[in-house]
A = this chain, B = another copy of it.
Amino acid sequence: MNFASDNTAGAHPEILAAMARANEGHQPSYGVDRWSSEMTAALSKWFGAEVQVFPVATGGAANALALSQLSPNWGAVFCLAGSHIDVDECGAPEFYTGGAKLVPLGRSGGLMTPEDLNETLKRFPRGVVHHVQPSAVSITNANECGLVYRPDQVKALAEITHGAGMKFHMDGARLANALATLGCTPGELTWQAGVDVLSLGFTKNGAVAAEAVVFFDKALAENFLYRRKRGGHLFSKSRFLAAQFVAMLEDGLWLRSAKAANGAAGALAAAFTAAGFPPAYPTEANEVFVRLPKALGDRLSAAGAAFYPWEDEAGETPMYRFVCSFATTAGEVETFKDCLKL
């Protein structure tokens, strides 16, 4: 019963098989191999738009590099309070941007709202030399509390963003989970809703390591290859990254995996509710947040369930996070339910 993270599972066997297939023969290094071309073609088809794709080592790298392309070092990047880019990357965005300022707004546990964004922007008048300049807005979808932005919600934020002369970034470390929930196309949730640059992550969804910066506007990607290289994120044997993206897309693996993870989370949420502990936030993707009496939390741990307490300012009753992945089994969920009943 491992609900610690969608990172603690290994990789889907189809991914490893794809890497083995990509291993045959010589291929040019540094991103001009056959598999990298196939990756770009597959992602362009997936998004319904010609995209520029830059694989990197981690989601943190994807986010930080993407933001460094969107914000000068005197820029401000607006994000939701508690965003991964603000609190969980040890300042990687600041490092890559050369010291741009991340401005958290709204509150963790919800979505960024147009009202919050508009209100915050008032404090950052453009052209005042003493202030950092509004440069980009970044949202995470599905977000850090397992909530999902709908295309129209994305669009509303993107319009404010563009109206203020900024660029719009989406951290899609769990984009597949959001898509599985919404049933919309990848294009509808991204570029058609105003996303300029996407951090696309398939690692949590079953890859070994498959993260990329995806540009929907070719002009915006100019010189990005140098940034990636300087960050040490241009892989020599790039075929092995590319092959993972191809494998995710070619036979619907991404959707099967995301649906499995979301389904398991939904089952957990239902079990918590049935036990009298409805989740703290709606369970819209593959994460369940729930307040439990500490004694119960301890008992679940003792019974062999792995999960994390969650930092939470508000409550006396502690909050816990349970994450499901493609690898979560029906058996694990059932065993957990039984533990919960005891």
Residues of A within 8 A of B (CB): 2, 4-5, 7-11, 13, 16, 19-20, 22-30, 56-62, 64-65, 72-74, 87-92, 94-102, 123, 129-133, 203-204, 208-209, 223, 225-227, 229-237, 239-240, 306, 311, 327
Contacts of A99 in B (CB 8 A): 91, 94-95, 97-99, 230
The answer to whether A225 and B27 touch (CB under 8 A), given A57-B235, A95-B98, A209-B240, is no
Q: How many copies does the complex hold?
A: 4
The answer to whether A232 and B234 touch (CB under 8 A), given A91-B132, A130-B88, is no
Find out whether the CB atom of A8 lies under 8 angstroms from the CB atom of B28: yes
Contacts of A239 in B (CB 8 A): 10
Find out whether the CB atom of B236 lies under 8 angstroms from the CB atom of A58: yes
Of all A-B residue pairs in the complex, the 6 with the closest CB atoms, nearest first, are A61-B232, A94-B99, A57-B57, A7-B29, A74-B226, A10-B23
What separation, in Å, do the CA atoms of A240 and B12 have in the docked complex?
13
Find out whether the CB atom of B11 lies under 8 angstroms from the CB atom of A26: no
5 contacts between A and B (CB under 8 A): A10-B27, A57-B233, A60-B232, A90-B229, A98-B99
- Nearest to A16 among chain B residues (CB) is B20
Contacts of A56 in B (CB 8 A): 57, 232
Contacting A226 at CB < 8 Å: which of B9, B58, B90?
Answer: B90
What separation, in Å, do the CA atoms of A62 and B65 have in the docked complex?
18
Contacts of A16 in B (CB 8 A): 16, 19-20, 23
- Nearest to A8 among chain B residues (CB) is B26
Contacting A22 at CB < 8 Å: which of B9, B10, B123, B204?
Answer: B10
The answer to whether A306 and B26 touch (CB under 8 A), given A61-B232, A237-B208, is yes
- Nearest to A203 among chain B residues (CB) is B236
Contacts of A4 in B (CB 8 A): 26, 28
What separation, in Å, do the CA atoms of A239 and B203 have in the docked complex?
13
Find out whether the CB atom of A90 lies under 8 angstroms from the CB atom of B26: no
Nearest CB on B from A242, distance (A): 12
- Nearest to A28 among chain B residues (CB) is B8
Find out whether the CB atom of B87 lies under 8 angstroms from the CB atom of A232: no
Find out whether the CB atom of A95 lies under 8 angstroms from the CB atom of B231: yes
The answer to whether A89 and B230 touch (CB under 8 A), given A94-B94, A209-B237, A237-B7, is yes
Contacts of A9 in B (CB 8 A): 26
The answer to whether A92 and B230 touch (CB under 8 A), given A8-B27, A11-B240, A16-B16, is yes
Contacts of A20 in B (CB 8 A): 16
- Nearest to A133 among chain B residues (CB) is B226
What separation, in Å, do the CA atoms of A20 and B23 have in the docked complex?
14
